[in-house]
Copies of this chain bind each other. A is one copy, B any other.
Amino acid sequence: MHSGNTRLVRSGKLVIVAGINGVGKTTVLSTMLKLLPPDLKVNVFNYGDVMLEIAKRNGWVGGRDDLRRLPLSKQLLLQEEAAEKLFDQARQGNVVVDTHALITTKNGFLPGLPKWVIETLQPDVIVLVEALPEEILKRRLNDTMRVRDDQSTVEEIKLFLELNRSAAISSAVFVGASVLIVRNVEGDATQAASKIVKLFTPDNA
């Protein structure tokens, strides 16, 4: 039977919101929560936070930085358990999963939604939040809070945006999810946020 069927047991929708660092995804998601009409409930989960929580409960890590130092076997286990937990959340209601379609590592671009994650999550939609490469670069340079060892030229960001789309499409083919590209316009996150809200409104079912 087709792999799309486990999605049918859910009462809520599961929407993945991905986007490379500097597109303003965090602002878009917090704006989205403010825009929700009173009768519409959507829970936002950060994929990395869910992994961290499971790792802490297992006594594997003290903090987020320890996650990367875990052996690959445990990282894969966490990745899969987090996906299962998020799928379960969507049995009861609408869920946004805040994550990445592609992650910059020192060994290259790592898929954030590999086969075993995407097939467990069974998302309805993968939203890619995008912004102009110049704006992304500016946001990254202004961001003094996080250490960012990734792309530092407009050309590198363009390449990453391109590969990110490719990764989202590849993951979508596994489960028949749609891929919605949402442009975050500088200074007006409500435009992008309202497009995500629309995905959860009943007349859009």
Q: Which residues of A contact B (CB under 8 A)?
A: 1-5, 7-8, 72-73, 76, 79-80, 102, 105-111, 113-118, 124-127, 159, 162-163, 165-167, 169-181, 199, 204
Chain B residues contacting A107 (CB-CB under 8 Å) are: 124-125, 178, 180, 199, 204
Query: What are 22 sample pairs from A and B whose C-beta atoms fall under 8 A apart?
Result: A1-B80, A2-B76, A2-B79, A2-B114, A3-B116, A4-B114, A8-B72, A8-B73, A76-B176, A107-B180, A108-B180, A109-B169, A110-B176, A110-B177, A111-B169, A111-B173, A115-B176, A116-B176, A165-B166, A166-B170, A170-B173, A173-B174
Chain B residues contacting A106 (CB-CB under 8 Å) are: 204
What is the bound-complex CA distance between A102 and B181, given in angstroms? 14
Q: Are A179 and B199 in contact (CB under 8 A)?
A: no
In the complex, the count of this chain's copies comes to 3
Task: Determine chain A's interface SS by DSSP, over half rule.
Answer: helix
With A1-B80, A114-B176, A115-B175 already in contact, 19 other A-B pairs whose C-beta atoms are closer than 8 Å: A2-B76, A2-B79, A102-B169, A107-B178, A107-B180, A107-B204, A108-B179, A108-B180, A110-B177, A110-B179, A113-B173, A114-B172, A114-B173, A114-B175, A115-B173, A115-B174, A159-B181, A166-B166, A167-B169
Identify A163's interface contact among B113, B124, B177, B179, CB under 8 A.
B179
